[in-house]
């Protein structure tokens, strides 16, 4: 019998080191860190080769994040964390069949997530047979036959679920959804359900498109840039360059965040050292240390101030919007006491910053997970829309909405069909283009997929990338769900915990990454991606693949499809012989992709249509932008409770842990830490390094996790922060944002209890 694998990483046992928080982002330490990760993982020669290709017109798109590339690129168009992402994929270590024969999955699960990732690139297709404890190799042909036979034996197409993580190229994602819809289901959950779903659901009904409306060039023309609930210094370091350039041109930057994130304090471009320019730039002019969940109140405050101090674009409000009066009436009905209490920000400061916003001729609002992963994530985004619409800050230079996407192609994946609840008009065009019949019922999103697995409703769970077990909420509940599934399949580059906590049978299909050469029958291929600002461009890897057994994601999909469908209107093998054929097909099925193969070969790719940005028009039922009216959420917490947010450290990429450092925050050695206000600690008689257990409370359910270490930090009172994914077992599966169903990873109500110091090693609860 197979022993059960552990679902939460054991801690890396290093002593916790605490230093002062850094005030300067990037600079020389960023250069040193890029080099260190590069050389350790890839060696000198490969580092130079790989990094010379990142974000170059003839190279590959950085797998780090979705921030766009400037038109005038430098020779080194990457950042510290992009370099780490490249090094992590292009590393020379390998996970081979011998590795799997040496280690059983339960043994591997006792290793930390960091250790698992460090073992290197997966090299062969592998299968974990029923009741067996070790993966064994199998051929691609055997793998496809096995998966196809499981899918054929299902009672209903909806008993299969197909997850996607946002690194998948447009071509692979498009073919993948075509395969899934040909099977007859819309069960296409993706990482976006846990990420910017609230942005899409907030923007769609108000401005008529679920995407941002700015270009990179707009940053140079903005009067004011709001950065809300986002830590670009760590997660989008190249955005700091855009902020610096904007700043040097006179923009005012307003940072709204419970934490004083270093990236927004002072910035030194790493490449300036080569030009012997040692000056640093102060970025944020204002930092409002809002309480977690306090943005709703703060935004109402700004709206009140704006209505008093003028700067309203009355003509725009009158002619191109609806709902202004009701929205304003609601904001004005909320008294200052409530706004101050809920936001944690004094009226003086709100008025001061509110005036800056009122006086602005062009405002850009950027945001990320601090807003989207709140229970009221969708209405928060819509309050941001309210605020900007008041001044007409959309569809003109230097102004607009900028949801800053995470995974490098998460936006593109959605555009090409990774969408469990795609609108009917989208599916109709897809149906015609593919010449198949597509069911119109919505499929499972991430949270509903977990519910379905737990209820025994899933026979086959297929993942195109990602780490479903560790990225999703409620780790133990998700693990139970996964163990219920007949067959789980992971198309992956690196080993992670989702390969260990599996269905009754599991298959690993190792694939090429962004950095690698992709050669098909017609020769070398490139793929395309869409960045956070709607630019579609090419990405072509150049390194020799990590193993000769690796296959590209499009190849994997087309070969599986060949085994799945006896008579399909699509000629699957032909599609992957030359990816131009995939793009030809995409042109037929998607809006905005005409002359795809020609336009994507232009130097900087092409822009997808975006009515608010291109023509200040709004694709809503009344063709007007919508102001929306929202109640304030209840954010009062009982005296003995805290609100916990789960965030990223500087040395991780989502569930991939590169190292145990969080350089900017001055923390290293341990990832099971809790950032807590020193006064809250003193009140409980606690000091730095106190060990605590955390219990989350939701609808009467309690989830507990032990062995966490307290660190005194500059964070609002009754707010605490822990790292994702270690804290995910505390995120209740049913605690999701209204409308978007995004897990509320930034709003978890918890209590803390001290534990004896000698307690070692996090236990599996
Ligand atoms: N190096 C690196 N780059 C990455 C990633 C990575 O893991 N590593 N992940 C990628 C992905 S998929 C994504 S989605 C992005 C994530 O990028 P971010 O959204 O920047 O990531 P988080 O660490 O989740 O940080 C959220 C920020 O929101 C703040 N916050 C939390 N609650 C609130 C609140 O109530 N109000 C306000 N105003 N702020 C709040 C936190 O203090 C934190 O600064 O980054 C992408 N890029
Ligand atoms: N508590 C909490 N939970 C969160 C979040 C949070 O802030 N707090 N953030 C959420 C967010 S924003 C996101 S986006 C999700 C992320 O969820 P996922 O996207 O599922 O997770 P990742 O950690 O990015 O996936 C890493 C794995 O992807 C595989 N991989 C890497 N590159 C490739 C490739 O090119 N092709 C293929 N096929 N596989 C590849 C590797 O095997 C690697 O181990 O997590 C969410 N979960
Ligand atoms: Mo994300």
What is the structure's pLDDT at 177? 98
CA–centroid distance, 38 to ligand 2, in Å, is 21
Atom number in ligand 1 closest to CA 369: 19
Report whether residue 407 contacts ligand 2, using a CB cutoff of 6 Å.
Answer: yes
In this structure, are 399 and 436 located in the same domain? Answer: no
- Cβ–Cβ under 8 Å, residues 606 and 538: no
Measured distance CA(426)–CA(177) in Å, rounded:
13
Half-sphere exposure of 563 (CA within 13 A, CB side): 18
Position 316 in a domain: yes
In this structure, are 393 and 450 located in the same domain? Answer: no
- Cβ–Cβ under 8 Å, residues 144 and 563: yes
Ligand 1 mutation pick, 66, 230, 238, 633, max ligand atoms within 8 A of CB: 230
Angle at 166 between CA 165 and CA 172, to 5 degrees: 90
Looking at the structure of the chain, the number of domains it has is: 3
Mean pLDDT, residues 716-732 taken together: 98
In this structure, are 662 and 675 located in the same domain? Answer: yes
Position 46 in a domain: no
Measured distance CA(278)–CA(389) in Å, rounded:
40
CA–centroid distance, 234 to ligand 3, in Å, is 13
CA–centroid distance, 165 to ligand 1, in Å, is 17
Mean pLDDT, residues 239-268 taken together: 93
CA–centroid distance, 375 to ligand 1, in Å, is 16
What is the structure's pLDDT at 761? 46
H/E stretch holding 528 reads: strand 527-530
What is the structure's pLDDT at 76? 65
Atom number in ligand 1 closest to CA 256: 38
Report whether residue 411 contacts ligand 2, using a CB cutoff of 6 Å.
Answer: no
CA–centroid distance, 721 to ligand 1, in Å, is 12
Q: Which domain holds residue 675?
A: 642-764
Mean pLDDT, residues 486-492 taken together: 98
Report which protein residue has its CA nearest ligand 2's atom 7: 647
Measured distance CA(94)–CA(83) in Å, rounded:
20
- Cβ–Cβ under 8 Å, residues 541 and 512: yes
What is the structure's pLDDT at 762? 44
Report which protein residue has its CA nearest ligand 2's atom 23: 655
For the stretch 384-414, pLDDT in tens is 999 999 999 999 999 999 999 999 999 999 9
- 3 state SS of 516: strand
What is the structure's pLDDT at 32? 83
Report which protein residue has its CA nearest ligand 2's atom 34: 513
Mean pLDDT, residues 326-339 taken together: 98
In this structure, are 240 and 371 located in the same domain? Answer: yes
Residue 667: is the preceding peptide bond cis (ω within 30°)? no
Burial 244-272 (b: 16+ CB within 10 A, else e): bbbbeeebbbbbbbbbbbbbbbbbbbbbb
Ligand positioned closest to the Cα atom of 67: 1
Mean pLDDT, residues 607-626 taken together: 97
Ligand positioned closest to the Cα atom of 167: 2
What's 657's DSSP letter? Answer: E
CA–centroid distance, 648 to ligand 3, in Å, is 11
In this structure, are 228 and 369 located in the same domain? Answer: yes
CA–centroid distance, 411 to ligand 2, in Å, is 14
Q: How many CB atoms lie within 10 A of CB 112?
A: 18
CATH of the domain at 386: 3.40.228.10
Report whether residue 531 contacts ligand 2, using a CB cutoff of 6 Å.
Answer: no
**Which of the four pLDDT bands, split at 50, 70 and 90, describes residue 106?**
very high
In this structure, are 416 and 394 located in the same domain? Answer: no
CA–centroid distance, 472 to ligand 2, in Å, is 9
H/E stretch holding 82 reads: helix 80-89
- Cα distances from 455 to residues 483, 484, 722, in angstroms, run 11, 8, 30
Ligand 1 mutation pick, 255, 257, 293, 299, max ligand atoms within 8 A of CB: 257
CA–centroid distance, 361 to ligand 2, in Å, is 38
Strand order in the sheet with 400-403: 286-288, 252-256, 224-228, 363-367, 400-403
Tell me the β-bridge partners of 748: 644
Measured distance CA(475)–CA(355) in Å, rounded:
44
Q: Which of 597, 614, 629 is the last residue of a domain?
A: 597
CA–centroid distance, 469 to ligand 1, in Å, is 20
Report which protein residue has its CA nearest ligand 2's atom 38: 465
Report which protein residue has its CA nearest ligand 2's atom 14: 191
45 compared with 344, residue with greater pLDDT? 344
- Cβ–Cβ under 8 Å, residues 177 and 465: no
Q: Within the chain, what is the greatest distance between any pair of CA atoms? A: 72
Ligand 2 mutation pick, 407, 482, 648, 655, max ligand atoms within 8 A of CB: 655
Ligand 2 mutation pick, 93, 408, 492, 730, max ligand atoms within 8 A of CB: 492
Looking at the predicted structure, is the pLDDT value of residue 758 above 60? no
Q: Which of 359, 388, 403 is the last residue of a domain?
A: 403
Ligand positioned closest to the Cα atom of 230: 1
For the stretch 277-321, pLDDT in tens is 667 888 999 999 999 999 999 999 999 999 999 999 999 999 999
Ligand 1 mutation pick, 64, 165, 231, max ligand atoms within 8 A of CB: 231
Length of the chain: 765
Report whether residue 192 contacts ligand 2, using a CB cutoff of 6 Å.
Answer: no
CA–centroid distance, 141 to ligand 2, in Å, is 28
* Torsion, CA 93, CA 97, CA 101, CA 102, rounded to 10: -10
What is the structure's pLDDT at 759? 53
Position 24 in a domain: no
Looking at the predicted structure, is the pLDDT value of residue 760 above 70? no
CA–centroid distance, 28 to ligand 1, in Å, is 24
- 3 state SS of 638: coil
In this structure, are 157 and 170 located in the same domain? Answer: yes
Closest to 341 (Cα-Cα) out of 379, 289, 371, 297: 297
- 3 state SS of 394: coil
CA–centroid distance, 192 to ligand 3, in Å, is 6
Position 67 in a domain: no
Measured distance CA(145)–CA(125) in Å, rounded:
13
In this structure, are 651 and 745 located in the same domain? Answer: yes
Position 257 in a domain: yes
- Cβ–Cβ under 8 Å, residues 711 and 673: yes
Looking at the predicted structure, is the pLDDT value of residue 524 above 80? yes
What is the structure's pLDDT at 272? 64
Q: Which of 403, 426, 448 is the last residue of a domain?
A: 403
64 compared with 112, residue with greater pLDDT? 112
Provide DSSP, 714-738.
S--TTEEEEETTGGGGGS-TT-B-T
Cβ neighbours for 155, distance < 8 A, ≥ 6 positions apart: none
Q: What are the respective helix, strand and coil percentages of the chain, to the nearest 5?
A: 40, 20, 45
What is the structure's pLDDT at 278? 61
CATH of the domain at 726: 2.40.40.20
Q: Hey, which bits of 558-714 come out as E strands?
A: 606-607, 625-626, 642-647, 652-653, 656-657, 661-662, 667-668, 673-676, 691-698, 701-712
Query: Of the ranges 155-159, 237-241, 623-627, which one carries the lowest mean pLDDT score?
Result: 237-241
734: left (phi over 0), alpha (psi -120 to 50) or beta: alpha
Tell me the β-bridge partners of 380: none
In this structure, are 142 and 278 located in the same domain? Answer: no
CA–centroid distance, 488 to ligand 3, in Å, is 23
Query: pTM value?
Result: 0.97
Closest to 378 (Cα-Cα) out of 228, 201, 633: 201
Looking at the predicted structure, is the pLDDT value of residue 364 above 80? yes
In this structure, are 505 and 579 located in the same domain? Answer: yes
What is the structure's pLDDT at 274? 54
What is the structure's pLDDT at 1? 79
Sign of CA dihedral 607, 613, 614, 618: positive
What's 447's DSSP letter? Answer: H
What is the structure's pLDDT at 35? 82
Atom number in ligand 2 closest to CA 122: 42
Looking at the predicted structure, is the pLDDT value of residue 457 above 60? yes
What Rg value do the Cα atoms of the chain yield, rounded? 25
CA–centroid distance, 315 to ligand 3, in Å, is 37
Cβ neighbours for 389, distance < 8 A, ≥ 6 positions apart: 316, 317, 321, 324, 625, 627
Cβ neighbours for 518, distance < 8 A, ≥ 6 positions apart: 512, 524, 525, 526, 527, 540, 541, 552
- 3 state SS of 158: helix
**Which of the four pLDDT bands, split at 50, 70 and 90, describes residue 146?**
very high
Position 25 in a domain: no
Mean pLDDT, residues 709-715 taken together: 98
CA–centroid distance, 340 to ligand 3, in Å, is 30
For the stretch 21-70, pLDDT in tens is 888 888 778 888 888 888 888 888 888 888 888 888 788 888 888 888 88
Position 634 in a domain: no
Mean pLDDT, residues 227-246 taken together: 94
Ligand positioned closest to the Cα atom of 557: 2
What is the structure's pLDDT at 764? 47
Measured distance CA(728)–CA(470) in Å, rounded:
7
In this structure, are 120 and 224 located in the same domain? Answer: no
Position 730 in a domain: yes
**Which of the four pLDDT bands, split at 50, 70 and 90, describes residue 765?**
very low
Alpha-helical regions (H) of 498-656: 553-564, 572-577, 579-589, 596-599, 611-615
Measured distance CA(282)–CA(242) in Å, rounded:
13
Residues at CB less than 6 angstroms from ligand 1: 64-65, 81, 195, 228-231, 234-236, 256-259, 261, 290, 292-293, 295, 368-370, 374, 406-407, 645, 647-648, 652-654, 746
What is the structure's pLDDT at 17? 94
For the stretch 617-634, pLDDT in tens is 999 999 999 999 999 999
Average pLDDT, the chain: 94
In this structure, are 172 and 228 located in the same domain? Answer: no
Report whether residue 657 contacts ligand 2, using a CB cutoff of 6 Å.
Answer: no
For the chain, what percent of residues have pLDDT higher than 90? 86
Ligand 2 mutation pick, 167, 259, 731, 742, max ligand atoms within 8 A of CB: 167
**Which of the four pLDDT bands, split at 50, 70 and 90, describes residue 271?**
low
Strand order in the sheet with 667-668: 17-18, 667-668, 661-662
- Cβ–Cβ under 8 Å, residues 524 and 506: no
Half-sphere exposure of 638 (CA within 13 A, CB side): 6
Number of H helices, E strands in the chain: 28, 34
Atom number in ligand 2 closest to CA 491: 38
CATH of the domain at 111: 3.40.50.740
Tokens linked to 630: 């929202």
Ligand 2 mutation pick, 60, 465, 540, max ligand atoms within 8 A of CB: 465
757 compared with 99, residue with greater pLDDT? 99
Report which protein residue has its CA nearest ligand 1's atom 11: 406
């Amino acid at each position: 019998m197979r022993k059960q694998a552990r679902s939460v990483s054991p801690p890396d046992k290093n002593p916790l080191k605490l230093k002062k928080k850094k005030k300067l982002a990037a600079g020389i330490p960023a250069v040193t860190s890029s080099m260190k990760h590069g050389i350790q993982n890839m060696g000198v020669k490969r580092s130079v080769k790989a990094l010379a290709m990142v974000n170059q017109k003839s190279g590959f798109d950085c797998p780090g994040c979705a921030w766009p590339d400037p038109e005038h690129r430098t020779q080194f168009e990457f950042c510290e964390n992009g370099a780490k992402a490249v090094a992590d994929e292009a590393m020379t270590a390998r996970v081979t069949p011998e590795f799997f024969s040496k280690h059983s999955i339960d043994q591997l699960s006792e290793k930390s997530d960091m250790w698992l990732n460090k073992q290197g690139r997966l090299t062969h297709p592998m299968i974990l047979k029923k009741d067996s404890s070790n993966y064994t190799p199998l051929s691609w042909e055997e793998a496809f036959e096995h998966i196809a036979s499981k899918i054929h034996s299902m009672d209903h197409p909806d008993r299969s679920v197909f997850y996607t993580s946002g690194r998948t190229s447009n071509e692979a994602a498009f073919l993948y959804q075509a395969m899934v819809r040909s099977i007859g289901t819309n069960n296409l959950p993706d990482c976006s359900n846990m990420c910017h779903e609230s942005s899409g659901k907030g923007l769609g009904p108000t401005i008529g498109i679920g995407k941002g409306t700015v270009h990179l060039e707009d940053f140079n023309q903005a009067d004011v840039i709001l950065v809300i609930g986002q830590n670009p210094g760590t997660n989008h370091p190249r955005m700091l360059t855009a902020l610096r350039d904007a700043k040097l041109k006179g923009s005012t930057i307003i940072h709204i965040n419970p934490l004083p994130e270093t990236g927004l304090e002072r910035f030194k471009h790493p490449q300036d050292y080569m030009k012997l320019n040692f000056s640093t730039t102060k970025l944020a002019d204002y930092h409002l240390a809002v309480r977690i969940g306090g943005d709703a109140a703060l935004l109402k405050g700004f709206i009140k101030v704006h209505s008093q101090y003028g700067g309203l674009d009355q003509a725009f409000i009158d002619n191109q919007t609806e709902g202004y009066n009701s929205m304003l009436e609601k904001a004005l009905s909320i008294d200052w006491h409530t706004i101050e209490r809920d936001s944690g920000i004094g009226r003086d400061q709100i008025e001061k910053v509110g005036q800056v916003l009122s006086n602005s001729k062009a405002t850009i609002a950027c945001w990320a997970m601090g807003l989207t992963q709140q229970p009221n994530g969708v209405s928060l985004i819509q309050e941001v829309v309210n605020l900007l619409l008041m001044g007409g800050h959309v569809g003109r230079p230097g102004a607009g909405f900028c949801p800053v996407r995470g995974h490098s192609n998460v936006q593109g994946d959605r555009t090409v069909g990774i969408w469990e609840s795609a609108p009917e008009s989208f599916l109709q065009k897809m149906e015609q283009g593919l010449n198949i019949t597509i069911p119109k019922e919505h499929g499972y999103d991430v949270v509903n997929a977990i519910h379905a697995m737990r209820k025994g409703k899933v026979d086959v769970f297929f993942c195109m990338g990602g780490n479903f077990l560790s990225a999703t909420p409620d780790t133990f509940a998700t693990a139970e769900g996964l163990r219920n599934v007949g067959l789980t399949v992971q198309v992956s580059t690196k080993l992670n915990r989702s390969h260990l906590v599996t269905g009754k049978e599991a298959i690993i299909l190792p694939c090429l990454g962004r950095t690698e050469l992709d050669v098909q029958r017609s020769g070398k291929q490139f793929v395309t991606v869409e960045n956070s600002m709607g630019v579609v461009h090419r990405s072509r890897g150049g390194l020799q693949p990590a193993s000769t057994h690796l296959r590209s994601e499009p190849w994997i999909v087309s070969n599986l499809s060949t085994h799945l469908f006896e008579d399909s209107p699509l000629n699957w093998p032909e599609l992957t012989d030359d990816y131009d054929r995939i793009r030809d097909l995409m042109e037929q099925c998607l809006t905005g992709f005409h002359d795809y193969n020609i336009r994507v070969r232009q130097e900087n790719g092409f822009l997808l249509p975006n009515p608010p940005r291109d023509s200040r028009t709004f694709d809503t039922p009344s063709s007007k932008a919508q102001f929306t009216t929202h109640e304030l959420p209840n954010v009062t917490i009982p005296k003995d409770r805290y609100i916990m947010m789960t965030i990223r450290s500087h040395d991780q990429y989502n569930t991939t842990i590169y190292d145990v450092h969080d350089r900017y925050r001055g923390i290293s050695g341990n990832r099971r830490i809790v950032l807590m206000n020193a006064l809250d600690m003193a009140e409980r008689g606690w000091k730095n390094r106190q060990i605590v257990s955390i219990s989350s409370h939701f609808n009467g359910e309690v989830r507990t996790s032990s062995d966490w270490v307290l660190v005194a930090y500059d964070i609002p009172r009754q707010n605490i922060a822990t790292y994702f994914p270690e804290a995910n077992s505390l995120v209740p599966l049913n605690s999701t944002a209204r409308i978007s169903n995004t897990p509320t990873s930034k709003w978890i109500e918890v209590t803390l209890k001290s534990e004896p110091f000698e307690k070692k090693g996090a236990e599996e609860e």
